[in-house]
Amino acid sequence: MISKYFNWSDAKIVAFQKALLEWYDREGRQLPWRVDHDPYHVFVSEIMLQQTQVQTVIPYYLDFIASFPTVGELASAPESKLLKAWEGLGYYSRVRNMQKAAQQIMRDYAGQWPTTAAKLQTLTGIGPYTAAAIASIAFNQPIAAIDGNAFRVFARLLKIDLDISKSQTRPVFQAIGDRLISVARPGDFNQAIMDLGTSYLTAKQPDAEHSPVRDFDESLADGTTLAYPVKTKKAKPIDFYYYALAIQSPEGWLFEQRPTKGMLARLWMLPLIDRDDLTTSDPKEVLAELSTLFQQETEIHAEFHEVEMKPVIHTFTHQKWHIQIVQAKLTSTPNLSLFSGKWLSLAAIAEAPLPTVQLKLNQQLFV
């Protein structure tokens, strides 16, 4: 399978490495996690960069390292502090798995990082790409880090027409990447491929003609750059419709903690009621039914009214939430014995670990 797409001579491989690394030395991005080769810094940055753009990650990374400067401090940090530090990055399982991995390092490796990609993959939340990135950058292991950028770069260079959304494709790219990688500078090679994929060989508006490796680019030669990589389109996320209950009492706003498992686990949000749980779609009757459903669950009587706010829309990987805010103001503060919630002041809301979708609700409600 590999020979179908890759038949470069050793001399051509060396020439490719030279062109790529000379460009990287001149123009590689100056990023805060590249100032050293500390495996912890590589680890934090790579986990943050999953599904998040570099410019968004930089301030989060700096704050996170300031709050948890070592793997030991990450391992022992209170979850609430971790979730607050992660607030706005989304996919909160990432930071929970980071802490589990840190705890494994402290418990199973006496605080010392495993130095090979194979051993790094035994840590919670670390897959083949992240393991290869840490192993190559921090420990000089010559193993290619195959992420979206590497898929795109190698697919275009070699006109690889395999569907990158299929699991059986990764081993082919891994084998090719491992053939191409610089043994002397594996970490720089992987980071150069990352930078190439975010500059000259971007997904939608590439500038392959001015790429530092244009002489090796087979898709550029025949004008098929945008045909690669081949990827099956993902299914559209499923729409879900909710009402967010913005209930205010003299002690603050009512928030509830999400369940311990599932989406947004253990984060704090306004109470939500699924539109499908209602028996009516009549706007006037909806408010009354929301009040009834909430009272049945909590024994708290709240009369809701509409607010002139656009629905908040937030897209997860497989779901798209549409949330309409309704509001109620109570003259006294009821007991919460039947409800797993808290009354939070605005100051307390600012300190609580909130998911991104709740931050969007806050922007509508507390402006």
**Phi, psi at residue 166, to the nearest 5°?**
-95, 135
Residues 6+ apart with CB under 8 A from 297: 338, 339
From the list 273, 307, 276, the residue with the least C-alpha distance to 293 is: 273
Instruction: Round to whole Å and give the CA distance between 172 and 6.
Output: 10
Neighbours of 364 (CB within 10 A): 16
Alpha-carbon 136 to chain mean position = 22
Cβ neighbours, 10 Å, residue 317: 10
Residue 135 falls in which region: left (phi positive, over 0), alpha (psi -120 to 50) or beta: alpha
Q: Which residues pair with 120 in a beta bridge?
A: none
Burial of 142 (0-12, 13-18, 19+ CB in 10 A): middle
Question: Both ends of the chain: CA-CA distance in Å?
Answer: 58
Any idea which residues carry the catalytic annotation? Answer: 46
The β-bridge relationship of strands 272-274 and 305-306 is unpaired
- Three-class DSSP category at 322: strand
From CA 37, how far away is CA 27, in angstroms rounded?
19
Q: Among 227, 191, 196, which residue's Cα sits nearest to residue 213?
A: 196
Cis status of the peptide bond prior to 32, with omega within 30 of 0: no
Rounded to 5 degrees, what are φ and ψ at 344? -120, 130
